[in-house]
Chains A and B, each alone.
Chain A
Amino acid sequence: KQEVTQIPAALSVPEGENLVLNCSFTDSAIYNLQWFRQDPGKGLTSLLLIQSSQREQTSGRLNASLDKSSGRSTLYIAASQPGDSATYLCAVRGGGGADGLTFGKGTHLIIQP
């Protein structure tokens, strides 16, 4: 059974810092990996999608990498802003493609003004 772990569970940094969120998964036979953002009491916003054949994806100040063989992904946030404060979730999709996502427990991020 796939298990997804996110480290750290919580992180508080001053505005302007660059930071890295980590995600690991136990079964490397994935179809793709998605990073999401969730604000309190809200649904999920998709940030980046990395297919299993890709190494990284970038969107604005966000960069996600994938090392499928070692079961790891990182989300890099450059020049953090208070508006980046949220819970960041990593999720992997099984090799079948149409399987549901398996989520980590998330990293609760606070950016101090």
Chain B
Amino acid sequence: GAVVSQHPSRVICKSGTSVKIECRSLDFQATTMFWYRQFPKKSLMLMATSNEGSKATYEQGVEKDKFLINHASLTLSTLTVTSAHPEDSSFYICSALWGQGRYEQYFGPGTRLTVT
């Protein structure tokens, strides 16, 4: 299957700082990428849909000014958590959509964010 990488895998930051997470589709071009958040022992919650070259579409309840998404190329999307607070600590997973018509989604390995 297709490969999606995510960097960093773990990050610890202080409250008030910003953190950037990168998501790359390594062997295919993805016009659409998604960002999910997962709390312990919970399922994935879609945060936003990112389309290359346009503004991201955020799910209800997700602050777009806090979670900045940039999809600058067909293989790279970034999520920046601005002015992070302890309640932003979570597991963030990106995903890339592959295949015209087939629409199969591949996921990155996730980023564990801890805000102290």
User: Do most interface residues of chain B lie in helix, strand or loop, or is the interface mixed?
Assistant: strand
CB of A43 closer than 8 Å to a CB of B: yes
Total interface residues in chain A, CB < 8 Å: 25
- Cα(A43)–Cα(B112), bound, Å: 11
Residues B107 and A31 in contact, CB atoms below 8 Å apart: no
Taking CB atoms, residues of chain B closer than 8 Å to A34 are: 104-105
Residues A98 and B107 in contact, CB atoms below 8 Å apart: no
Chain A min CB distance to B41 (Å)? 9
Residues B103 and A98 in contact, CB atoms below 8 Å apart: yes
- Cα(A44)–Cα(B94), bound, Å: 10
- For the A-B complex, the count of residue pairs with Cβ-Cβ distances under 8 Å equals 57
Taking CB atoms, residues of chain A closer than 8 Å to B105 are: 34, 46, 91, 93, 101
Taking CB atoms, residues of chain A closer than 8 Å to B109 are: 42-43
What are the interface flags for A40-57 relative to B under an 8 Å C-beta threshold, 1 for contact and 0 otherwise?
A: 011111100101000000
Extra 9 A-B pairs, beta carbons < 8 Å, given A101-B34, A103-B44: A41-B91, A46-B106, A49-B102, A91-B105, A98-B97, A99-B49, A104-B43, A105-B42, A105-B43
Residues of A whose CB lies within 8 Å of any CB of B are 31-32, 34, 36, 41-46, 49, 51, 89, 91, 93, 97-106
Residues of B whose CB lies within 8 Å of any CB of A are 1, 4, 6, 32, 34, 42-44, 46, 49, 91, 93, 95, 97, 101-110, 112
